[in-house]
Amino acid sequence: LLPPTAFAHLRRQAAALDALRPRLNACCRHHTPLPCARRAWTDVLDGFCTDEFGVKTRQFHCCHRHGAA
């Protein structure tokens, strides 16, 4: 549990991981689990970075990369 104030960057990170878990579980039942997991990861990471750029703090370093990077 995080304190009610501050630590918003950790809350965004935790929310991204929470969003990833059910998508990865669904990929385990998919006929092509690895591409499914990669798509789930990139979708969740894209959403996380969108959230990161929506605040006035320094963004997580991976959000400044593009494409396959």
Q: What percent of the chain has pLDDT over 90?
A: 41
In one-letter notation, the amino acid at residue 61 is H
Q: How far is CA 30 from CA 36, 40, 43, in A?
A: 7, 12, 17
Look at residue 55 and tell me whether its pLDDT is greater than 90: no
Predicted confidence band of residue 3 (pLDDT cuts 50, 70, 90): low
Query: Could you report the per-residue pLDDT of 5-36, keeping only the tens digit for each?
Result: 777 888 888 899 999 999 999 999 999 999 99
Question: Closest Cα partner for 56 from 5, 9, 2, 19?
Answer: 9
